[in-house]
Amino acid sequence: MPELADIVEVLLLQNYNTRLVVVTTALLGVAAGLVGSFLLLRKRSLMGDALSHATLPGIGIAFAVMVSMGLSGRSLPGLLLGATLSGIAGLLTMLLIRNTTRLRDDVAMGFVLSVFFGTGVAVLRMVQGMPGASSAGLESFIYGKTASMVHGDFVLIASAAGIVSVASVVFLKEFLLLCFDESYAAAQGWPTRLLDVLLLALVTAVTVIGLQSVGLILVIALLITPPAAARFWTHRLSLMLVLAALIGGASGWLGASFSALAPRLPAGAVIVLVAGVLFLLSMLFAPARGVVPRWFRQRSLRRKVDRQHFLRAAFEILEGQSKAGEVRNEAFSFEDLLRKRSWSPFQLRRILGVAKREDHLEPAGPGRLRLSESGFGEGARVTRNHRLWETYLIKHADIAPSHVDRDADMVEHILGAELVSQLEADLGRRDVSVPMPASPHAIEPENAAR
């Protein structure tokens, strides 16, 4: 287990080497988050996966070429150049398959991914037998290894990440148009092919600079996960980009820090795990599209609907009990209420429990119920809205009176004050001396109707 002092040292970036690795990986995360957002919106995320796997043969070949030229064979720029070229070859193969045959995209991607990766594995095994140089460490491109970074690598990766990030922001408008509506963009005269190539070039750049720290198998996670997580938080593209960059940067930062503390864990896996946790949290709790907030919203609407149904049912019972026009707040029986709608005794008891807690009900003896002052007022209001809406539907939407109850049921719960006053105006009921319109259809208990 790492000591507390070690943890502090890593998190505060006190060690030069750690600082180098952590900052580089964070920049990589930012660039991947930005470019990945467009890739996600273009629905091409898996293309990044095929691309990263296609870099492997290039790494092996670049190593072999450098060794045969008498160079060290382990220089990062050389290896990354090889990776880039073979990644591009993979992309071109994919486009070739797509444009010249009738095979679908997923077939082209699966083919390129597996064939290039297989070739890469074979090439790596072959160059390991080459005399004169040790190829040990080339495998680290597969799973990622952050520890072995030197200053020159940092400059290379950081500047590439910087260029990619700036380019994603500069081409924001063009990429937005391309991702949203490609054929409109083409009709407008935008060079959509060129923009596509540019986007893929940025993806290639991120993939290649991510090879060393995250590894080619997992770099796709850094392209997909931060944008997908960011999408849960917002409906605005600019904000989504900022969040994706932040989430990507945080994943890189934290992941590289953790893996510095536990050097035996592959860095790529740790970074991806951090990104995965951030994604999970976003998916569950993000207010805009998260699962839990949505569940709460639905539950609160359901409760509101239940409450309004109960209050209206109670009010209609009171209307039936009252003589001579004036509705008075009296006690009524549970059985009467149960017959008003198609609810089970269990459901109704639950609803009544909520109503008690909300002070809409007062105790009235066994088997009897009585609305409170506020419950009675609310019941009158809800019933009135329901009838206004029903009348509107019958008058203006040609809905048969026998069906209107159901339709009104669905909408009335979300009627705002503004809509209600508009309804009143439309129906010519501005006159408040008629506060309660009569039901436009016969009121029958639903359970009795069956």
Partner 1 sequence: MAPVKSASPLLPPTQDERPEHPPGIPLAIHDLTVAYQRKPVLWDVELNIPEGKLVAVVGPNGAGKSTLLKACLDLVPKTSGWAHIYGKPYRKHRRLVGYVPQRESVDWDFPVNALDVVAMGTYRKLGWFKRVGKTQRDAAMAALEEVGIAQLADRQISQLSGGQQQRVFLARALVQDADLYLMDEPFAAVDALTEEAIVALLKNLNARGKTCLVVHHDLATVSKYFDWVVLLNMRVVAAGPTEEVFTRENLQKTYGGRLSLLEDAAEALRQVRS
Site residues (CB under 8 A) for partner 1? Answer: 41, 43, 102, 170-171, 173-174, 176-177, 179-181, 183-184, 186-190, 231, 234-237, 240
**Residue 229 DSSP label:** H
Nearest partner of 263 among 4, 5, 24, 6, judged by Cα = 6
Least CB distance to partner 1 at residue 187 (A):
4
Q: Choose between 46 and 186: whose C-beta lies nearer to partner 1.
A: 186
Least CB distance to partner 1 at residue 101 (A):
11
Q: Choose between 212 and 234: whose C-beta lies nearer to partner 1.
A: 234
Nearest partner of 26 among 209, 166, 169, judged by Cα = 209
**Sign (positive or negative) of CA dihedral 395, 400, 402, 406:** negative
Least CB distance to partner 1 at residue 225 (A):
17
Q: Choose between 127 and 167: whose C-beta lies nearer to partner 1.
A: 167
Q: Choose between 239 and 438: whose C-beta lies nearer to partner 1.
A: 239
* Residue 290 Rama label (left phi>0; alpha psi -120 to 50; beta): beta
Q: With H, G, I as helix, E, B as strand and everything else as coil, classify residue 275.
A: helix
Q: Choose between 396 and 403: whose C-beta lies nearer to partner 1.
A: 396
Least CB distance to partner 1 at residue 238 (A):
9
Least CB distance to partner 1 at residue 235 (A):
4
Least CB distance to partner 1 at residue 182 (A):
9
Least CB distance to partner 1 at residue 88 (A):
24
Q: Choose between 113 and 245: whose C-beta lies nearer to partner 1.
A: 245
Backbone angles phi, psi at 430, to 5 degrees: -65, -25
Nearest partner of 152 among 20, 308, 319, judged by Cα = 20
CA distance 268 to 270: 5
* Inter-CA distances, 100 with 94, 95, 407, Å: 10, 8, 53
Q: Choose between 125 and 396: whose C-beta lies nearer to partner 1.
A: 396
Beta bridge partners of 171: none
DSSP per-residue string spanning 395-434: HHS---TTTHHHHHHHHHTT--HHHHHHHHHHTT---TT-
Least CB distance to partner 1 at residue 433 (A):
33
Q: Choose between 172 and 277: whose C-beta lies nearer to partner 1.
A: 172
* Token pair for 137: 């460490």
* Inter-CA distances, 402 with 11, 41, 405, 440, 447, Å: 69, 47, 7, 10, 16
Q: Give 251's contacts (C-beta < 8 A, 6+ positions apart).
A: 29, 222, 225, 226, 271, 272, 274, 275, 278
Place of tokens 């060079």: 191
Least CB distance to partner 1 at residue 36 (A):
14
> Quick one: which H or E segment has residue 289?
none
Q: Choose between 324 and 417: whose C-beta lies nearer to partner 1.
A: 417
**Sign (positive or negative) of CA dihedral 108, 114, 117, 118:** negative
Q: Choose between 261 and 288: whose C-beta lies nearer to partner 1.
A: 288
Q: Give 243's contacts (C-beta < 8 A, 6+ positions apart).
A: 226, 229, 230, 233, 234
Least CB distance to partner 1 at residue 84 (A):
26
Least CB distance to partner 1 at residue 301 (A):
16
Q: Choose between 237 and 277: whose C-beta lies nearer to partner 1.
A: 237
